[in-house]
A and B are shown apart, each in its own frame.
Chain A
Amino acid sequence: MRIFDPHIHMTSRTTDDYERMRDAGVRAVVEPAFWLGQPRTSPDTFADYFDSLLGWEPYRASQFGIRHHCTIALNPKEANDPRCRGVLDLLPRYLAKDGVVAVGEVGYDSMTPDEDEAFRAQLEAAKEFGLPALVHTPHRDKVAGTRRSLDVVKESGLPPEHVLIDHLNELTVEMVLESGCWLGFSVYPDTKMDERRMVALLQKYGTDRMVVNSAADWGRSDPLKTAKVGVAMLEAGFGEDDVDRVLWRNPVGFYAQSGRLELSEGEPDAEYAGNTVRRGG
């Protein structure tokens, strides 16, 4: 089973997680820029964060033969803090980087006017840079938030196949299917989807444009959820090819639209084995 986790916040995970992910079949990840639990108060700390997504994390991942790409954006929650608005001015510089395969996570948290403005501005940036967009849907008022996100995407003029709407569930899947956008499902203990419900959705709606991620982060989450969905699919009667489509070919198809995805059959980076990452600094 080869696995591409299209949404995981490795910044918040340990190096042991990379090792376990590698053992479970994960060969590539995309780390979307998001919030870190503790709010940030200046564009400079975002610049350091973006640098880490383009420097330290790909390096750490490479020790375990995992390709690491990222998406860059001002997330909806912090878009509400006027001290962070300057992050939008940093974007042109970071969206030009080779390792950036989409603009994201953009979208809504509480559906405020500030979020609205940042969302629309960043969809424009996606068009300007020829990048796909990764859209986060809110945890609260999800159905209304997802519908409004789809409206904003439509107004932006971005082609729907360049947009992935994430954190979907049984109540939001159909409207996104109709929109032509890609569908992202986060299999995340307690608050989002679980393996069993995920398999049921795949049985009902098929595997076309369906993307599964762990969304693992600093919360109580599990970076191996993608692999567990693969196992649950096989147990439910899906074939190896269906699993490969959902866990590899679909996310690759979405992010490859950036023209920047670089995947090689990864082996742990022997040249650097035994270095500071594995040993700690």
Chain B
Amino acid sequence: MPSDRILDEALDAAGRAWLADAEARCAADPDAVARLFPAARRACGRGTLPTGRPVAEAARIRLLLALPLRGEELGRAAFDLYRHGDTAERLAVLRGLDPLDHHRALGEAGLPIVRDALRTNDTRLIEAAAGPYAAARLDDDAYRQAVLKCVFVGVPVTSVAGLADRADGELARMAADHARERRAAGRDVPPDVERILRLAGEREF
């Protein structure tokens, strides 16, 4: 993993030792992750990586990658951690979907997690759900709904993955309708609507 070194450098000796041991335990017994996943922040500290993401989140993603599971089984294990996770744990699962897809053949088995997060009203979860995994795996309808929800709740569309590739005429129509509705109500139109229209226009024409 390219991020391995960045995380290792951010951890102190005790944190590195804890993580190595925790990874070994997850690899030996996937059930062990249930207690290790929530403990990661207390063991690895409250710091952040140069990327701006929490050290504990990167450590949790390493635990996911350590599980001796692939595909559907991995999707079920990740959903269980997400379902019983606090917000920080849920964010780690959501941000781990893309590496799990690339390195552990997650396939579409992570989509139930993305759909759940997109149904919430927590902008942090919505933003994390609209990441590269969603851009790669959501079908067109679901992807458009995800983008529109981001606009609606105020998640900047600059943080939505894949928009330049996936903004299409239908998404442009939805964004334009949304803008009309805002204007009819006397409210201002978020600049992100313009951005979507522009991206869709560049792609279509």
* B residues less than 8 Å from A97 (CB atoms): 38, 86
> Is B153 close to A, CB under 8 A?
yes
Q: With an 8 A cutoff between CB atoms, is B41 at the interface?
A: yes
Complex Cα distance, B74 from A109, in Å, reads 43
B122 touches A92 (CB 8 A): no
The answer to whether A55 touches B123, judged by C-beta atoms less than 8 angstroms apart, is no
A98 touches B35 (CB 8 A): no
Contact in complex: A93, B34 (CB < 8 Å): yes
Q: How far is the CA of A152 from the CA of B39 in the complex (A)?
A: 30
The residue on B at minimum CB distance from A55 is B87
B84 adjacent to A276 (CB under 8 Å): no
Distance in angstroms between the alpha carbons of A274 and B188 in the assembled complex: 13
The answer to whether B35 touches A55 (Cβ under 8 A) is: no
Partner of B123, one of A47, A98, A272: A272
Q: A260 near B154 (CB under 8 angstroms)? A: no
User: Does B121 touch A at the CB level, under 8 Å?
Assistant: yes
Verify if A58 is at the interface (C-beta below 8 Å from B): yes
Q: Which residues of A are interface residues toward B (Cβ below 8 A)?
A: 47, 51, 54-56, 58-59, 92-94, 96-99, 259-260, 262, 272, 274-277, 281
Could you tell me the distance in whole angstroms from the C-beta of A22 to the nearest C-beta in chain B?
A: 19
**Residues in A whose Cβ lies below 8 Å from that of B154:** 272, 274-276
Once the chains bind, are B39 and A55 in contact (CB under 8 Å)?
A: no
Contacts of B84 in A (CB 8 A): 47, 51, 93-94
Q: Which of A54, A98, A272, A277 contacts B42 (CB 8 A)?
A: A98
What's the nearest-Cβ distance from chain A to residue B165, in Å? Answer: 27
Residues of B contacting A59 in the complex (Cβ-Cβ under 8 angstroms): 87, 122, 124
Interface size class, chain B:
10 to 19
Chain A CB within 8 A of B88 CB? yes
User: Which residue of B39, B86, B87, B154 has the most chain A CB atoms within 10 A of its CB atom?
Assistant: B86
Identity of the chain B residue whose Cβ is nearest the Cβ of A70 in the assembled complex? B86
Known contacts A98-B41, A98-B86, A274-B154, A55 near B122 by CB under 8 Å: yes
CA gap between A46 and B42 in the complex, in Å:
25
Contacts of A55 in B (CB 8 A): 86-87, 90, 122
Of the candidates B35, B39, B41, B87, the one whose C-beta lies within 8 Å of that of A54 is B87
Can you add 19 more A-B contacts, CB < 8 Å, to A98-B41, A272-B154?
A47-B84, A51-B86, A55-B86, A55-B87, A55-B90, A55-B122, A56-B121, A58-B87, A59-B124, A94-B84, A97-B86, A99-B86, A259-B42, A274-B154, A275-B123, A275-B153, A276-B121, A276-B122, A276-B123
Give the residue name and chain of the B residue nearest to A276 (CB): B121
Q: Interface centre among B42, B46, B87, B90, by most A CB within 10 Å?
A: B87
